[in-house]
Every structure is written in structure tokens, then in C-alpha cells.
Structure 1
Amino acid sequence: MQRIILFLVTNLAVMLTLSIAMSVIFSVFGINARGYGGLLVMACVFGFGGAFISLLMSKWIAKRSVGAMVIEQPRNSTEQWLVETVRRHAKQAKIGMPEVAIFNSPEMNAFATGANKNNALVAVSSGLLNNMTKDEAEAVIGHEVSHIANGDMVTLTLIQGVVNTFVIFLARVVAGIISNATRSNDQQGGGLGGFAYFAIVFVLEMLFGILASMVVAWFSRKREFRADAGGAYLTSKQAMMSALERLKQSHESRLEGSIMAFGIKGGKLVNLLSTHPPLDKRIEALRQS
């Protein structure tokens, strides 16, 4: 969960920053921001730029956001086992050895992130190591290594780049329509001023950004089933199913709770924004595979 939420939040922040920069560039150099052809090109450049900057920053942000400590030299048998398990799975999955980290949290959780298959990070919570059996923890690690091997972060980055492009483009098109409608009804012929126009663009980008996050979350949910299958392949189907059953004991994570605090608890909106399918569906998919 963490890797996708962090990626989406970082991407939104970077995209909004780049969008403001793009507006300034348009204003300073007198570029017609409402010309659809040029606007689409610029939206594409800044949209994909924001997504790839988020990807390149993903390891750095992930480590600092959860306080993950990279294991440079194992200090005990648990850290030794964790490093060797990641190494074995990485070799099976034919990827480079990822960085391995532990973060202090009572939740049973883990994530993988990174810009490419040979420069990734696998982080595991202390709660997972303390509350899962070794077979279950190994299956979770296999799941995360499978995310790396499947290139999921790069895939989601490309998808995010596409939706970013449309967010930037549509926000300005709609703002232009509003500006033209205001001008036609204004006897003075003024229409929206520069500040009002950019304020509308900013609000529209926030709203369209939420809708875009739903699209990315839908793709993320699909990728989870593949990662579960990968975890089962690297360990066993029973171990992966047992790990998912164990995760149901700590299904309400603090990270999810912070999102729900904004008033989206319950109902279909939570499902649309969820980056992971329900655990029961994931278990059933494994059972039928």
C-alpha cells in the first residue's frame, strides 16, 4: 500500500509544481496556453515529467516517510535471514539484488519500489517479521520481489504519465471554456483575469487528479493479483494464501486510516481509490489458479 500511496501523492505534488511552472513559462514567453495542439504537447512533457520524477524519487521518499533502515551489514539472525531470502527470490526472478530495509511499525506490511529492476528497494515492517511465520513472511517478500520483476512501478509510471497529460490538458481546456463563457456574458468584455484563470486551473487539476488516481488505482489492483501469483511461484500457493489470511488480522492500516479521515470511509469511493483488491478476492484468485 505505501509504495502506491507515496507515488500518487508525490506525483500529484510534482505535477502541480510543474503545472505552475508551465503556467509561468506560458505567461513570461507569451505562449498561447489555450492553443490545443501546443497545449497537448506541453501537457505531455510536463505530465510524463512529473510521473518520472516521482519514480526517480520513490526510493528516497519511501525510506524517509516510514523511517526505513537499509541493512548494510546484518546485525542479527533475523536481518541475515531477510537479506538471504530477498537475495534468493531476486535470483529466481532474475533481477538485480535490491536494497533491503526494515521499518519500525506494528502493522504487518511490506513494500517494494525503485526506478528499475536492478536498482530497487524491498522494505519489511517489524510487525510483519514479529507476527508472521517464516513461510508467510517469505511469501510476502516473494510478492514484493514479483512487483519488481514484473516492472510494476514503471508500468504505473507510464499510466500515471498518460493520466497526468489529460489532467493538465483538460483542466486548461475547461478553464478556457469558463473564461470564454464569462467573457461573452460580460458587457465590458473582460472575461476571467489571469489570476482567476490560473486559480480555476489549479482547482480543476486537483479534481481531475483525484479521478486520475482512481484510474491508476484500478491498474494497481490488477497488478496485485499478478504479484500474488509471483509470490506463490517463488514459495508456494499455500504459503501465499496463509500470508494473506494473516494480513486480514491487521487489515486496517494506519496509512489507510489517515486517508479515511478525510471523509471517504465506507461506500464505493473507498473501493475506487483502493490500490489493493480485497484480501478475500486475492485468496480466492489464488485458490482457483
Structure 2
Amino acid sequence: MNYFRTAILLAGMTALFMAVGFLLGGRSGMMIALVVAAGMNIFSYWNSDKMVLSMYGARQVDRNSAPEFVGMIEELAGRAQLPMPRVFIMDNPQPNAFATGRNPQNAAVAATTGLLNSLSREEVAGVMAHELAHIKNHDTLTMTITATLAGAISMLANFGMFFGGRDNNRPFGAIGTIVMMVLAPLAAMVVQMAISRSREYEADKLGAQICGQPMWLASALAKISNAAHQVPNMEAEHNPATAHMFIINPLSGERMDNLFSTHPATENRIAALRALAQQMGAGDGNWGGTSAQPTSAPRSGAWGTDAGTRRGPWG
């Protein structure tokens, strides 16, 4: 089903790309856009993860450079019955994280230094379990390719300002160009919103089940949401088409759960996690506790005996 949804998404984004080409150059522009879109689909399938990681200056770490963080990912991946993903850290003060890769065998997870330095280990575990849930649900291919194509559509639309409205090959002239410049990025954003918001709820639920404590993720979401709108993420601001990949919208001014937000309202996500915690019989789950600690929680020895109080840096 996920592969079918991916195919439908690619077809829709390709059609949107062709529509922009048609408005810019008529039938010839549409055919050129089709060829470009086909090439981008192929390129994105194999390389979109590398592009996004490079865009954010992510550096790969291992057990030598970040032993505790990598050990955490390894244990959570085992609990999720996933292959060990590549692990990256982004030097960015905003607390945030994302996952990418065309399939679980070629996946990667990335967290910012802001996330590792400001959240407790339980909260980081909840966040990274959420990202592993995206991998397990095969969301990462769809999300990464969508980011690539949405960015290309917005860029192509912006090219319209450099063309006059007098080209007879373009059916709607200057009016069509203006409409295209406004509607094409908006349409790409709506597509991103549609695929991202429902998947965030699904990843929250599965991620909570992977780490064993929904309230770890709920606590992390509250902290990240508050900090994300105070600490700018300049790479994300320059590449807004990638915003839907992050666990919390990294762009400024996106607090409301409205039509144009790529993420559900954090309050709604936390409420859903609280309800899940009640269903699972899980409490706040402070690391090292007795009453709230579920038997399925990751063992504390993997990250140290003081895992409930320590923070980063973790490499």
C-alpha cells in the first residue's frame, strides 16, 4: 500500500510539474517538464537522501565518535525489527530530527545538536523512535522525494518572473504566469501537508510503542515545539520544501493546525499520546523509576545509569 501511495504521489507531483511547464511554454514546455520530472524522479529515488543530508550539513557518526547516541539507535532499531540505519548529527541549535532513505535497508536518521543538548535521554529516545517509525512505515522515500519535487516546482514557478507575458507559445500569457507563480508552490505545499500530517500521527503511535513510553515522546514534542519557534533553523528557512520531513515544523510562524501547516498541532499530537499512554498503562516513565517503568522499555544500561538526568553533548 505504501508503494502504491508513493506511485500516486509521484504521478501527482509529475502532473503538477508538467502543468507549470505548460503555463510557462505551452506544449513544448510541458514536454520538457515531463522529461525533467522523469529524470528527477529517478535521481531522487537514488540520491534524495544524500541531497537532504548534505543540505543540512549532517555528519555521519559511529560508535567511536558518538557511542551513546549510536547505541541508543541500535537498540531502538532492534526493538523495531529494523536494520541499523546510518546515524547523522547536524550542527544546528534548533532541537529537531528527521529520517530519510529509499527503504529500511538504506535509511538514515539525523538529529540536531540542539536536540541532543537540550532533551533528556528518554525524550531523545522517544524522538528517535518516532523517526524509526517513519522508516518502518516506508514514509521516508515519499517524504524525501516530495521535498525534492516540491522544491523544484517552486523553483520552476519562480522562473516565471523572468519571462514576459508576450510569448505566443504560452496559452495564458502574463496572467497565466502570475497565476502559476502563486498557485504552483501553493499546490506543492498542499500535497506536502496531505502526506505529512496523517503520517506524523501514525509515526507518533508506532514510535511510542517502539520505545515503550508514549509520554517520553509527548514531553519531547512539547519542548521541541516551544524551542523550534524561538531558535531559527536557517537551512530550513532557505529550503522550506523540506520542512515536512522534521518531527516538528522547523520554520518560524507555523503554530496553528490549519490547512497550510505541514504538521498537525503539537497539542493534538500530545493529546493522542496521552490517550495511548492510558491504553498502554504507561505513566510518565522517568528513567530509572519503579512504578511507571514498563517492562518493554529500553534497558538503562545502554546509555548509562544516570540516563534520566544527563544531557548531551553526545558527539
* Uncovered stretches (5+) of structure 2, i.e. residues with no partner: 1-12, 158-165, 241-250, 277-315
* CA 82–199 in structure 1, closer or farther in 2 if over 3 Å, else same: farther
Amino acid at match of 1:254: P
- What is aligned with 1:123? 110
CA distance in 1, matches of 2:189, 2:39: 17
* CA 198–254 in structure 1, closer or farther in 2 if over 3 Å, else same: farther
CA distance in 1, matches of 2:232, 2:168: 43
The Cα of 1:87 is off from its aligned counterpart by 1.4
- What is aligned with 2:169? 194
- What is aligned with 2:47? 57
Asked if 1:285 is matched to 2:272, the reply is yes
* CA 202–96 in structure 1, closer or farther in 2 if over 3 Å, else same: farther
Amino acid at match of 2:187: L
Amino acid at match of 2:54: R
- What is aligned with 2:138? 151
**TM-score, with normalisation over the residues of structure 1?**
0.65
What SS does structure 2 have at the residue aligned with 1:271? coil
Amino acid at match of 2:168: G
Aligned pair count reads: 235
Amino acid at match of 1:194: N
What SS does structure 1 have at the residue aligned with 2:105? coil
CA distance in 2, matches of 1:223, 1:62: 19
- What is aligned with 1:99? 86
Question: Of Structure 1 and Structure 2, which has the larger fraction of its residues in helix?
Answer: 1
CA distance in 1, matches of 2:186, 2:39: 19
* Uncovered stretches (5+) of structure 1, i.e. residues with no partner: 1-10, 28-32, 172-190
The aligned runs of 1:185-264 (5 Å cut-off) are 193-194=168-169, 205-206=180-181, 207-235=183-211, 236-252=213-229, 254-255=232-233, 258=237
* CA 255–62 in structure 1, closer or farther in 2 if over 3 Å, else same: same
The Cα of 1:63 is off from its aligned counterpart by 2.0
Q: Does 1 or 2 have the higher relative contact order (CA < 8 Å, sep 6+)?
A: 2
- What is aligned with 2:125? 138
Preserved CA contact (<8 Å) 2:92 2:233: no
Preserved CA contact (<8 Å) 1:19 1:46: no
Preserved CA contact (<8 Å) 1:111 1:122: yes
* CA 120–162 in structure 1, closer or farther in 2 if over 3 Å, else same: closer
Preserved CA contact (<8 Å) 2:100 2:144: no
- What is aligned with 2:308? none
> What do the CA deviations read for 1:75-119 (whole angstroms, capped 9, x no partner)?
2xxx11111111122222222211101111111111111111110
The Cα of 1:288 is off from its aligned counterpart by 1.9
Asked if 1:68 is matched to 2:58, the reply is yes
Preserved CA contact (<8 Å) 1:44 1:162: no
> What do the CA deviations read for 1:138-190 (whole angstroms, capped 9, x no partner)?
110101111111111334478899999xx9xxx9xxxxxxxxxxxxxxxxxxx
* CA 83–266 in structure 1, closer or farther in 2 if over 3 Å, else same: closer
What SS does structure 2 have at the residue aligned with 1:194? coil
Preserved CA contact (<8 Å) 1:47 1:161: no
Preserved CA contact (<8 Å) 1:113 1:121: yes
* CA 80–212 in structure 1, closer or farther in 2 if over 3 Å, else same: same
* CA 74–287 in structure 1, closer or farther in 2 if over 3 Å, else same: same
Preserved CA contact (<8 Å) 1:49 1:161: no
What SS does structure 1 have at the residue aligned with 2:259? helix
Preserved CA contact (<8 Å) 1:48 1:162: no
The Cα of 1:136 is off from its aligned counterpart by 0.5
Preserved CA contact (<8 Å) 1:48 1:158: no
Once the two structures are overlaid, the 10-residue window that deviates more, 143-152 or 58-67, is 58-67
CA distance in 2, matches of 1:232, 1:265: 27
Amino acid at match of 2:196: S
